[in-house]
Structure 1
Amino acid sequence: MSADPGQMREAMASFVAALHGAYLDQARHLAVGEQAGLPLLRGSHLTVLAVGVRHLHVLATTSPLPAPHGPEVEIADEVDGLTWTLRFFDPVVAPGLGGIDESDGPRPEEVRQVLGVPDVVYHLSVSPGGGLTPHHAQHAGTGLANQHAAVFRDHDTIRAHAGSRATLAEEYAVADRVGLHQTVRFLAQQLAPHDASLAAVCADPAADDSAVRRALVAALRAPAEVR
């Protein structure tokens, strides 16, 4: 027997609140400047989307969305000044989700494409049967804050070493945040055009955007004559 929809929504709301609380707790250990650079602490209202396909997707965006309609449900919540609205989507609310095949694993990019939400602050995928417990939320929120802090520091380093290519560095940071994988690779090589190690990472189909970013940071930190 499937779980009661109301109970599932309550569990999801509690999970998101605990995740955001853990994120804020971890962020307080960072320097003030780093805290200000974290996506959840920039003062924008979040919309969190709980999306049920085969896997459960939890993604947050600061992009404006139209008001709910039809069978869609939303819940407003806040923790320590961080405010968000939680909205629920499944193939009944968004029929295009029914065409996503997740039998071999989550398809976050396809989910975002169907919903038309390319710019996300975070996107978590929970496997069937995965927990929405406070422990899972604590782990996810702490890890997310650490991940965002690391990305913030990397982008700051890239900007600091970009020189006359400062505009490219800003474009790269946006592409990296949004997940424009091919644009990330193109801009990274524009920022360090003579680095063979970076070029190899960008050409590797198994390398993710984090690997490209690490290679770019290493390339820009290398002595000029090596590059």
Structure 2
Amino acid sequence: MSDDPTRAGPEAMRELVRDYVSALHTTYLDHVRHLPPAERAGLPLVSAPKVTVIAAASRRLHLVATLDTLPPLRGPEVAFDDDYLGVHWTLRFYDPSVLPELGLLSEDTPAEVRRVLGVTDTAYHLTVDVGGGLGAHHAQHSGVALANLHTKTARDLDRVRRALPGQQNSVDELGVCVRAGLDRAAALLVGDLTSGRVVLGSRASAEQSLDALMQDISTQDVTR
């Protein structure tokens, strides 16, 4: 195997990506295994009956974990199945030779890559530097960060549901927006959930919108 991942052959590169995803998922699952059972079961990489991680090669390597159902393999498509602690995931590979639209993107953004893939419900979307970002240490760091983010998001959404008991559907939709990185949709939902008290700029991330909603709920609790 070449010491330079960017010069590795297709089979070696797929094994590098498989090892990276496995390290990320095992680190994530180890990090959350001591949470209360019900809280752990609410995390997307634990609770989903089927997780498919798509390795999509455009200008950069995108790793998209989706809860959507994908069609069966066809032609030259390749997939691996792995599991840890009873949690299963499938890793599938797409590049311009399999999905030509990936080579035609004018912008290599997460939203554009998800559009080409046709996925909407995601547990995570990472962009990885093939030249140096596929090591085990980087994967473990990403796994811990992702576990912390998912745990915080789940706890925040539970608090929002308790504070806004009549807005269950909108809160669930906000959770999907945060997972999928739908920034503008999240900002609009937070505006609706706060009756216009919170107005977010066009650059606000979905996570920042949720944080602003939490701050608004805290403020409302103090003034009651």
- Asked if TM exceeds 0.5, the reply is yes
Q: What per-residue deviation string (whole Å, max 9, x for no partner) do you get for residues 153-182 of structure 1?
A: 111111111133333323322333333333
Secondary structure, aligned partner of 2:92: strand
1:59-78 equivalences under 5 Å are 59-78=64-83
Please point out which of 66, 84, 89 is paired with 1:84. 89
**Do 1:54 and 1:128's aligned partners in 2 also have CA atoms closer than 8 Å?**
no
Which residue does the alignment assign to 2:11?
A: 6
Spell out, residue by residue over 1:8-61, the C-alpha distance to the aligned partner (whole angstroms, 9 max, x if none): 111111111111100011112323232111101104121111111111111111
| Residues 56, 128 of structure 1: 8 Å contact kept | yes
Cα RMSD of the aligned pairs, angstroms, is 1.9
Which residue number corresponds to residue 207 of structure 1?
Answer: 204
Question: Which of 116, 140, 145 in structure 1 is aligned with 2:142?
Answer: 140
User: Distance in 1 between the 2:99 and 2:90 partners?
Assistant: 18
Q: Conserved in 2, the CA contact under 8 Å of 1:46 and 1:61? A: yes
Percentage of pairs with the same residue: 42
TM-superposition CA deviations, 1:111-162 (whole Å, max 9, x none): 0000101211111101241321111111111111011001101111111111
Pick aligned residue for 2:217 from 214, 217, 220: 220
C-alpha separation in 2, matches of 1:80 and 1:113: 32
Q: Counterparts of 2:15 and 2:49 in 1: how far apart (Å)? A: 24
Where does the alignment leave 5 or more consecutive residues of structure 1 unmatched? none
2:42 to 37, 44, 52: 37
The match for 1:159 is 161
Could you say which residue in structure 2 is the equivalent of 1:94?
99
Q: Say which is worse superposed, 106-115 or 171-180, in terms of deviation.
A: 171-180
Conserved 8 A contact 2:181-2:205: no
Query: Structure 2: how far apart are the matches of 1:9 and 1:55?
Result: 15
Contact 1:48-1:85 at 8 Å conserved across structures = yes
One-letter amino acid matched to 1:141:
G
Q: How far apart, CA to CA, are the structure 2 residues paired with 1:225 and 1:9?
A: 53
Closer, same or farther in 2 for the Cα pair 1:150/1:225, shift >3 Å?
closer
User: Normalising by the residue count of structure 2, what TM-score does the alignment of the two structures yield?
Assistant: 0.90
Tell which deviates more after alignment, 19-28 or 161-170: 161-170
1:164 alignment partner, SS class: coil
- SS state at 2:7 partner: coil
In terms of mean alpha carbon deviation, does 51-60 or 161-170 score higher? 161-170
- CA drift at 1:87: 0.8
Aligned pair count reads: 219
Is the contact made by 2:120 and 2:180 (CA closer than 8 Å) also made in structure 1? yes
